[in-house]
Amino acid sequence: SCFPPLEQHLPAPMIFQPDALPLDTRTALPTLDPLEHGAFVRKVREAKEEAGQAARPVRDAWIEARVAEALDGQDPDDPDREAKAAALRDVFGQAVERSLLLGDFELIHESGRRVTVGEVLDDPDRWHGKRFADPLEPDYGNDKRIAWANLRAAGKPYLYSHAHGGRRFALHRARSTVRVQAGERVEVVRRTLELLRLDGGAFDRGGELVRVTPGGEVVPLDLNGLQFLLDGVAKWEKFDGRRQEWAPCDCPEHVAKGVRAGRGEWGLPRLKAVVTAPTMDPGTGRAIERDGFDAETGLLVVCDRLDTWRGVPAQPTMDQARAAVTHVWTPFAEFPFTSAVDRGVMLAAILTAAVRPALPTAPGFLFTAPTPGSGKTLLAICLSILAGQHPPAVVPVSDQAEEVRKRLLALGRIDVKAVVLDNLVGQVEDVALCSWLTSETFTDRVLGASDLVHVPTRCMTFLTGNNVTLKGDLCRRVLTCRIDPGSETPWRRAFAMDPAAHCLARRLEVIGGALTLLRAGLQGDIAPRDRTASFEAWSDLARRAVLWSARHGLLDVADPVEAIEEAYDEDPESQIGFGCYSDSFDGFSFCFQ
């Protein structure tokens, strides 16, 4: 892709084996439908579990081989040899089990020089961006440049290796030792919290302790999960009275309980959401495109592909804005939107998907059509991919508001990026969904516990269904987008391109175009007449960019908020019916409307 004035001139295609039949990859390798993808995910999970059991002895043998290599040449009669071996087992065990490289772990620079993680962390200006061999398999691919050090990842330095499809290794200095003894619980908990803050692996999300996986998944920490995390943060010892010496142990349960009881005083980063692609601060228009935790917005960027990120123009030109529209609209150009308002809602949904984690609130989006198979769910899937959730989390339809509330809370706790209420029928209303869409946090009790959690609701919400209308308060909380293929059998049609596959393969390109349009809208002189109650920040950013695009003729779109007015026009509760009742009293006639 090139921005003007650059042009790309491709050579004519070269044809080999001209007599062979052409291969249509869309037919030969069709995209998995949601059920097939779910089966695929289950098979992968089962295969990993099976492989994990076989991997345990292999890992143990690898650790012992590395320990023997490190001790080679040292005095075999050294009284501290076994202690050194135990320390080395911990170092190599953390590397292979938790992708954690401690201070004593040796890295091999592309020049062949060996340097410890501690030395790298002590001199970030020198080692940031440098290339290394894979830490676990230095000979992998005979490539000494396969790993890249990022020492400026907002307090979470890491080494990313492209070996075996890619793996992130956290870099950390040697673990401290915490000794547990009776009567010192308060002091031990205080020390533990200090180590948690230094480690950077735990966050405070709505009054709940969570950790984030290398892939960007949020994992709430129950008592067992917190103990496991603390086992990696520190070495634990308790006094062995029989042997009269300090002996290693696991993190005691009472320490983990003490840490959990310190809610409000954890001093950990307050996490709003995790993003797996660059996004934008709605208040300032600042691009958030640096891997790591952004303290101003509470967003954690987890994206290993930022080396391919091209950035967002500081002041987009009109040519750059046109190119951005092409990037964002290409996957959706073949969908039969019925009006400019529907296209405006769709553009607003695309732009919202790029910045939803940064917005306190945002409206939901309903995709409806007159016939099944029109592409409603496909639109929701494509937008979920752009939002960073594939496949989207589907919330079953229920007439029990409490059931919907529990499901939304559960999904919010793990920071899902997109939820879909699929295959709705008739008139739709839901009290829990109304609260979910207009509240910055969703508060409820965790199932099986007495603790209240305040889950940020920074999630795209989609509804789909045939001939669906909104009812009551949902009319102003959900924007309706209509598509009509004009066919009784729309499921038979074929797209010239696979929209979902395009969004998956070129997500960063589409996100880049969306952020460019959002920034162009902020710098333009077009502002909405109103700020869309409950969604003010969204209106100032996403809606404004849609209006700016319409004003400059970049796309045939209209104000997406007009969909709210249309929803109220169709809502039977908001219709004012007129009837007449006539009567007479003392010679006067009365007509009541």
Percent of the chain with pLDDT over 70: 94
Confidence bin at 586 (pLDDT 50/70/90): very low
Residues sharing a CB contact under 8 Å with residue 165, sequence separation 6 or more, in sequence order = none
Q: What is the pLDDT of residue 450?
A: 64
Q: What is the pLDDT of residue 244?
A: 87
Residue 518: burial class (beta carbons within 10 Å; 0-12, 13-18, 19+): buried
Q: pLDDT per residue over 26-59, tens digit each?
A: 788 888 877 888 899 899 999 988 888 888 899 9
Average pLDDT over residues 557-580: 76
**Separation between Cα atoms, residue 492 and residue 591, nearest integer Å:** 56
Strands 245-249 and 218-220: unpaired
* Top-confidence range, 152-156, 337-341, 421-425: 337-341
Alpha helices in 72-80 (DSSP H): none
**Average pLDDT over all residues of the chain:** 88
Confidence bin at 578 (pLDDT 50/70/90): very low
Confidence bin at 280 (pLDDT 50/70/90): very high
Q: What is the pLDDT of residue 593?
A: 40
> In the Cβ-directed half-sphere of 382, how many Cα atoms lie within 13 Å?
27
Residue 587 pLDDT exceeds 80 = no
Rounded to whole angstroms, the maximal C-alpha distance in the chain is: 123
Average pLDDT over residues 455-483: 94
Residue 497 pLDDT exceeds 60 = yes
Average pLDDT over residues 506-535: 90
Q: pLDDT per residue over 317-362, tens digit each?
A: 999 999 999 999 999 999 999 999 999 999 999 999 999 999 999 9
- Is 448 or 60 the better-scoring residue by pLDDT? 60
**Separation between Cα atoms, residue 201 and residue 293, nearest integer Å:** 11
Give SS3 for 88. helix
Determine which helix (DSSP H) or strand (DSSP E) holds 274, and give its type and residue range: strand 273-275
**Separation between Cα atoms, residue 116 and residue 303, nearest integer Å:** 25
Average pLDDT over residues 554-574: 88
CB 280 within 8 A of CB 538: no
Residues sharing a CB contact under 8 Å with residue 445, sequence separation 6 or more, in sequence order = 451, 452, 453
- What the block records as the tokens of 167 is 């793996």
Average pLDDT over residues 539-554: 95
What's the pTM value of the predicted model, to 2 decimals?
Answer: 0.77
Calculate helix-pair angle for 544-551, 340-355, nearest 10 degrees.
130
**Separation between Cα atoms, residue 271 and residue 207, nearest integer Å:** 10
Q: What is the pLDDT of residue 571?
A: 74
Q: Return the minimum-mean-pLDDT range out of 17-26, 236-245, 258-267.
A: 17-26
CB 171 within 8 A of CB 101: yes
Residue 286 pLDDT exceeds 90 = yes
Alpha helices in 280-339 (DSSP H): 318-329
**Separation between Cα atoms, residue 246 and residue 248, nearest integer Å:** 7
Percent of the chain with pLDDT over 90: 53
Confidence bin at 447 (pLDDT 50/70/90): low
Hey, CA dihedral for 115, 118, 123, 129, is it positive or negative?
A: positive
Query: Could you tell me how far CA 570 lies from the centroid of its own chain?
Result: 35
- Is 412 or 399 the better-scoring residue by pLDDT? 412
Residue 580 pLDDT exceeds 60 = no
* Top-confidence range, 194-203, 411-420, 423-432: 411-420
Q: How many helices (H) and strands (E) does the chain have?
A: 19, 29
Determine which helix (DSSP H) or strand (DSSP E) holds 504, and give its type and residue range: helix 499-505
Query: Could you tell me how far CA 445 lies from the centroid of its own chain?
Result: 24
Q: What are the distances in angstroms from CA 18 to CA 12, 13, 23?
A: 15, 12, 12
Average pLDDT over residues 113-139: 91
- Is 160 or 573 the better-scoring residue by pLDDT? 160
Among residues 312, 319, 322, the alpha carbon closest in space to that of 516 is found at: 312
Residue 579 pLDDT exceeds 60 = no
- What the block records as the tokens of 242 is 């029989």
**Separation between Cα atoms, residue 301 and residue 331, nearest integer Å:** 25
- Cross-strand bridge partners of residue 2: none
Q: What is the pLDDT of residue 232?
A: 84
Q: Return the minimum-mean-pLDDT range out of 151-165, 351-365, 463-477, 511-525.
A: 151-165
- Is 33 or 195 the better-scoring residue by pLDDT? 195
**DSSP secondary-structure letter at 540?**
I
- Is 80 or 300 the better-scoring residue by pLDDT? 300
Among residues 233, 295, 293, 292, the alpha carbon closest in space to that of 259 is found at: 233
Tell me which amino acid residue 241 is: G
Alpha helices in 72-184 (DSSP H): 81-98, 117-122, 124-127
Strands 364-369 and 279-280: unpaired
Residue 363 pLDDT exceeds 60 = yes
